[in-house]
Amino acid sequence: MASTELVLAGAKVVTPQGVLENGWVQVRGTEIAAVGTGPAPGPATDLDGRWLVPGFVDVHCHGGGGGSFTSADAEQARTAVATHRAHGTTTMLASLVSAPISELVEQIRALRDLVTAGLLAGVHLEGPFLARSRCGAHDPDVLRPPETEAVQRLLEAGDGAVRMVTLAPELENSVPAIRQLVAHGVIAAIGHTDATLADVAPALAAGATVATHLFNGMRPLHHREPGPIGTLLTDQRVTVELICDLVHLHPSVVRLAAEHAGPGRTVLVTDAISATDAGDGTYRLGNLPVTVRDGQARLADGSLAGSTLTMDAAFRNLVVSCGVGITDAVAAASTTPARLLGLGGVTGSIEPGLAADLVVLDEQLQVTGVLKDGSWVQR
C-alpha cells in the first residue's frame, strides 16, 4: 500500500524547469504533492545529494528476467515488468515480435488484463507488417502486408490495449493501414523497412509519428539517397527511438541523432528480450533461437536480436558515453515517451499532481531506489 505521506529531501531534483539543488519532493498517496528547494516540509528521508528523476518510460521492450511478453503467459509478463521496475522503468509497453495473426491475437489477449490492471501501459506490435529484406530478428516466413482485415483483428483482440504498431511503409496497403491505426488512437511507427524517401513521405502524411529504433532495421543513410533515416530524423512530427546500449549504435551516432532531434523528439528504448538480467545463454525471441554472450543477443548468423539493456543503463550511457546533458537525458528516458503515449499529464515528470513515479540515482547514475505510485519497489 502506498505511503500516506513521504518526503524525499536533500536531492538534485530534475524537473521540467531544470535541476533543483538541495531539492525535495513531497509524496502524498500515489501522487507528487509538492516540489521545492531548501528545508523540507516536515520529517524527510535525506537523499544526501543523490539525483531524483522521474520514473523511466520504455515504449519498446520484449521481456526480461527470463520472462517474455510473447509467451502468452501472464506470470512471465509480470516477471519482465518486475525486472525492469527494479531498474527504474515504472511505465512500459509490452512489445511483441512478428508471428501469425492467430498467435498475435492470443498473445494480445493474454496481456490485455495486465494493461487493464495498470501493470502495462499497452501493447506494441513490432510486426508482422515488416520488410523481409530488413527483418532482423523477425521470422521472415510470417511477414505480410498490413491488410485491413488483419489489422482490425489485432485491434479488436486488444480492445484498446494495442497502443503502437510498427510497419514498413513500402508494403502494399501500408498507407491505408496507418490511417486505420491512427483512427483507432494507435501510434503508427515506421521500422524494419527498406523504404526510400519517396515511400516515407506518404506514411508521415497519413499519420505515422515514430521511428522504431532509428538506424537499426532500416535502409542506411546515404548522401544521395537518404532513405527513411534522413526524413525521420528531420521531420518535426516524428519521435525517434534510440537503443543506447553502445552496441546497436555508436555513441557518436546517438549524440548526432539526439542533438538533431532534440529532447522533444528523442526517446530511449531498451528493445530488451527475456535474457535481460538473466545471464548469458540460449533464449528465444518469437520463433527464433537467440544466443546471448557477454550480454549481446544475436541470431546464429550474427545479427543482433534485441538487447539485454535496461533503461537505467541506457540513461547512464546517454549521459556518460554520449555526452548528453542530464536534463535532456531525463526528457528522452521519461518525459518525451510519456507524452508520446498520451500520459504527459499522468507521469514522466516531477511535477505536483503527477504520479509519484521516481528514481533515485547515485553520483555514478546507478539506481539506489525506485518508487511506483508512491510505493518503494526498489530500495
Q: Which residues are marked as active site?
A: 271
CA distance 55 to 91: 7
- With contact defined as beta carbons under 8 Å apart, do 167 and 175 qualify? no
* Cα 339–Cα 343–Cα 345 angle in degrees, nearest 5: 95
User: Phi, psi at residue 347, to the nearest 5°?
Assistant: -155, 180
DSSP code string of 51-87: EEEEPEEES-B-EETTEEGGG--HHHHHHHHHHHHTT
Q: Is 197 annotated as a binding-site member? A: no
Q: Is 217 annotated as a binding-site member? A: yes
Q: Is 304 annotated as a binding-site member? A: yes
Q: Is 192 annotated as a binding-site member? A: yes
**Counting every residue, how long is the chain?**
379
- Calculate the CA dihedral of residues 174, 343, 36, 17 and round it to 10 degrees: 20
- With contact defined as beta carbons under 8 Å apart, do 19 and 328 qualify? no
In the three-class reduction of DSSP (H, G, I as helix; E, B as strand; rest coil), residue 21 is classed as strand
Q: Is 213 annotated as a binding-site member? A: yes
Cell of 168: 514498413
Q: Is 323 annotated as a binding-site member? A: no
- With contact defined as beta carbons under 8 Å apart, do 327 and 18 qualify? yes
* Cα 329–Cα 332–Cα 333 angle in degrees, nearest 5: 85
Q: Is 137 annotated as a binding-site member? A: yes
Residue with cell 546515404: 222
Annotated binding site: 126, 137, 192, 213, 216-217, 224, 248, 304-306
Annotated binding site for substrate: 137, 216-217, 224, 248, 304-306
